[in-house]
Amino acid sequence: MRKAFNGTFIAAGGYEREDGMKAIAENRADLVAFGRWFLANPDLPKRFALDAPLNKYHRETFYTSDPVLGYSDYPFLDEDSNGVAS
């Protein structure tokens, strides 16, 4: 797809930190989207920068009518515990 499109190319779907960095380094994408990982990790850029562990996402809560469950209940990094989520 990259060869067929000359504009800014955004890759998405199934990428993790290392995969995304590799896709950019190898010029397979200009940007990488991390939708599910952002839902479960509201501080994802910080976690990626620190190579900190990620919260696991719960796919079954992605499309519920509950305005809180699954979208705002994931923990941020607890900096007092060396990057481990609280």
**Inside any domain, residue 68:** yes
Q: Is 3 helix (H, G, I), strand (E, B) or coil?
A: helix
Please give the chain's pLDDT, 86 residues, in tens. 778 888 999 999 999 999 999 999 999 999 999 999 998 999 999 999 999 999 999 888 887 777 777 777 889 998 654 555 44
**What range defines the domain where residue 16 resides?**
2-76
Cβ atoms of residues 20 and 28 within 8 Å: no
Pinpoint the alpha helices (H) of the chain: 17-25, 35-40, 44-50
Q: What's the domain count of the chain? A: 1
**Inside any domain, residue 83:** no
pTM of the entire predicted model: 0.76
Max distance between CA atoms of the chain, in angstroms, equals: 47
Q: Report CA torsion sign: 78, 81, 84, 86.
A: negative
| Residue 6 dihedral angles phi and psi, to the nearest 5° | -95, -5
